[in-house]
Chains A and B, each alone.
Chain A
Amino acid sequence: MFETRRKSRRINLTALVDVVFLLLIFFMLTTNFTRNTAIELDVPNKVGLSNDSWKGAIIVRPNNKNQVQLNAELVPISRLEPALRHLITASPNKKVIVKPYNNVALETVVKVMDMAKVNGASSLSLIK
């Protein structure tokens, strides 16, 4: 009695394909494949500068003219790396404080922090 019905029925997949295509296009447009990494920042109240362990730390002060004040000396950012390496090697605790001037882009600060880390800084602090 039901034989004729059973034979020819197939699920219509068109609606499913439409929805899955939409999802696919959405994910293709909203994802990127660059890997994100993290720089850990000190939360000031936990590791305050009043702490004695930061005494004698190297102070690096980038400005918005591509120069960096390194302790008291003004160095162009392109020549910062050797100077910073020299200071970090000579420093006993290898701690670096990055204290940017006002209106310095975060990109510059990250570049300086990167340089310090690559050249052996043990801890970094970012303050105003």
Chain B
Amino acid sequence: MFESQEKPRRQPDMIPLVSVIFLLLIFFLIAGTPTSPAYLDITIPQSNSKNKISGKNLKVYLDKQGMLGFEQQTMDIARLIEIVKSKETAINVQVHADKQVNAHKLISLLDALGATLANKVILVTEERHDPQGKK
């Protein structure tokens, strides 16, 4: 009577599931921007600037204690300048600085970068969504 139920079990068809997951994966890869590195805790300031970040830049991180991060490691200004100076062509530097860092630390970094081939330094900020947010 129950013999018919014991026929070989069919495996569920996984192909639609794989397609959907791939789509989601590609969406997150393209639409998202990676957050700051895990070794430094950085919250960038908000601004009304509409300038987009373009081109290839060296990414430098500056946390609220003034600790510098570059290429997955922390370092002091002197070491960073040594690395930037070793680059043979003029480069752009992109600074991701924490909103609570002492502004003088950023200015010291700018001063130091002035002695290198860095031809443009940009400060990365988060676009402000609040239209009243000028204040």
Contacts and interface: CB of A to CB of B under 8 A. Distances in A.
Contacts of B97: 106
Contacts of A27: 25, 28-29, 32
B115 interface: yes
Given A32-B32, A110-B123, A114-B134, A104 B114 contact: no
Greatest chain B CB density within 10 A among A40, A102, A114, A126 is at: A114
A17 B21 contact: yes
Q: Secondary structure at chain B's binding surface: helix, strand, loop or mixed?
A: mixed
Contacts of B122: 38-41
B114 A43 contact: yes
Interface residues of A, number: 49
A24 B134 contact: no
Given A13-B18, A114-B134, A32 B33 contact: yes
A36 interface: yes
A38 B92 CA distance: 12
A103 B123 CA distance: 19
Interface string B1-30: 000000000010011011001101100110
Given A36-B126, A107-B99, 13 more contacts: A20-B21, A20-B25, A24-B24, A31-B34, A33-B31, A37-B47, A37-B51, A43-B110, A44-B111, A106-B45, A113-B47, A126-B110, A128-B111
Interface of A: 10, 13-14, 16-17, 20-21, 23-24, 27-28, 30-46, 78, 81, 100, 102-111, 113-115, 117-118, 126-128
**Shortest beta-carbon contacts, A-B, top 9:** A31-B32, A45-B114, A27-B28, A107-B99, A38-B122, A13-B14, A44-B114, A110-B45, A100-B103
